[in-house]
Structure 1
């Protein structure tokens, strides 16, 4: 009998199908197969016991079953799904980070942002990435942020670049209303004349 407070783990231990701990499960199944062959009366019963009950015999059973050592081979397994997925993710992130340093990949107008410690902000898949996790609460806000970061915000420099018949100067008197000017120099950057997202980006 196997006493456990996690039937899911018990099920996975004897599940030979594809999953992250398949190598260990196959070793368990291989060991049990030999044991079952020895006698037709061999049976295993899993007993679910809530750990919150603090049952003494459950503690003894836990100590007993954790003494079981299942061999998985001479070498530590490194071909589980989790290990393969981790290697693939790190490989993609390394390639992404190195490619991201190329201005032709970023685009000439891509706004380089920094982390709090001063390092350049790098792309990541965690929590939606650094940009989406910050501005993803609003589709409208995120769309505006994208326009600013990629140099497509509706300001004077954009109108000048694409020859749009709109004022190129800033309301503060500057000859060109550039993104750099709006974010870091303009005295009126919190004015209603400027999209709110520019002030948000400046505060990063």
Structure 2
């Protein structure tokens, strides 16, 4: 089963004991997606295969294959979703076929495409031929949703391109928007990703951040290098010389825009943070946890108190603290 840019077609080929026993093809027009064609093909295949089995009573087991994972996994599933009519028909056909005889089985399985599998190649050929058939265009829900997402993403990227970067995140704001989370989000441990985000936004345990928002905190670096800045920690702080080669692998000059705003740079920076402990409150590497649960449940009390106090101070400055909260904080101060 396959689709062409001009139109979307589907094709089905059935085999019994190595012999081709039925073939059918169809066209869904210009406003349908490959997923729609694959699901329609599964619907037709299920119907034709069960009808064939009923005419040939020795056939007890049916195997239906398609090379589209999304269509295969949703075929036998009743839920409100794109392709739900085909899903309903497949489910009804399968249930009825199985209820008539306890010895019958039917499976709907994925198979790899373009791997010279005879049945799959034949079905692809039928689908290609199906695109040449006349069909009345009906916009499928899958097609409509894709169009909406494409237009929204295009608008989003236009706004992103014409908005001048500003703030601490400006130098890291090089990756254009997209719907799926990027690898530095999905492949970075939770605690390290937290520090990576703080580093990219410059809202971190950092002297230059303290200077702006928490003036009673020490703003110098523990290495004696003066004001502790993001650039200093990544590029020059002697506390992290041992691990700085990780950053140089991404960019020899360790340019911040590359380290914080490119795929290669983010991978290197995340690795650097994990190995060095940079941008923690203590500036040292955290003790490694033995299980993901321990990492997720980690509660650094010192950091938690610091952030809570900082946020409370800022809320008080803007008059956002409730009277009860202020009274509680005064009690803590007296204690």
TM-score by length of 1: 0.52
Partners of 1:84 and 1:93 lie apart in 2 by: 14
Partners of 1:78 and 1:169 lie apart in 2 by: 66
> Contact between 2:210 and 2:219, CA under 8 Å: does it hold in 1?
yes
Partners of 1:159 and 1:130 lie apart in 2 by: 30
Q: Is 1:96 aligned with 2:156?
A: yes
Q: Is 1:86 aligned with 2:101?
A: no
Partners of 1:161 and 1:151 lie apart in 2 by: 11
Q: 1:76-155 residue pairs with structure 2 within 5 A?
A: 77=137, 79-101=139-161, 102-103=163-164, 108-110=167-169, 112-113=171-172, 120-126=174-180, 128-135=181-188, 138-155=189-206
User: For residues 53-84 of structure 1, what are the alpha-carbon distances to aligned partners after superposition, in whole Å with 9 as ceiling and x for unaligned?
Assistant: xxxxx97xx68x939845323xxx58333332
Alignment match, 2:228: 177
Partners of 1:158 and 1:49 lie apart in 2 by: 62
RMSD: 4.7
User: 1:203: how far off?
Assistant: 6.0
Alignment match, 1:36: none
User: For residues 124-160 of structure 1, what are the alpha-carbon distances to aligned partners after superposition, in whole Å with 9 as ceiling and x for unaligned?
Assistant: 223x22441342xx22222222222222110101100
User: For residues 92-145 of structure 1, what are the alpha-carbon distances to aligned partners after superposition, in whole Å with 9 as ceiling and x for unaligned?
Assistant: 222333333424xx651115348xxxxx3223223x22441342xx22222222
> Contact between 1:182 and 1:189, CA under 8 Å: does it hold in 2?
yes
TM-score by length of 2: 0.35
Gaps of 5+ in 1: 14-18, 30-42, 53-57, 115-119, 193-197
Alignment match, 2:269: 200
Partners of 2:220 and 2:227 lie apart in 1 by: 4
Alignment match, 1:188: 239
Structure 1 residue runs of 4 or more that deviate by more than 4 Å after TM superposition: 49-52, 67-70, 201-204
What is the total number of aligned residue pairs between the two structures? 152
> Contact between 2:192 and 2:270, CA under 8 Å: does it hold in 1?
no
Partners of 1:181 and 1:45 lie apart in 2 by: 73
User: 1:44: how far off?
Assistant: 4.9
> Contact between 1:156 and 1:177, CA under 8 Å: does it hold in 2?
yes
Partners of 1:21 and 1:144 lie apart in 2 by: 43
Alignment match, 1:157: 208
Gaps of 5+ in 2: 1-12, 17-22, 27-32, 45-49, 54-58, 66-110, 112-117, 244-259, 261-267, 274-335
Distance 1:50 1:163, change over 3 A: closer
- Which structure shows the higher strand fraction? 2
Alignment match, 2:135: 72
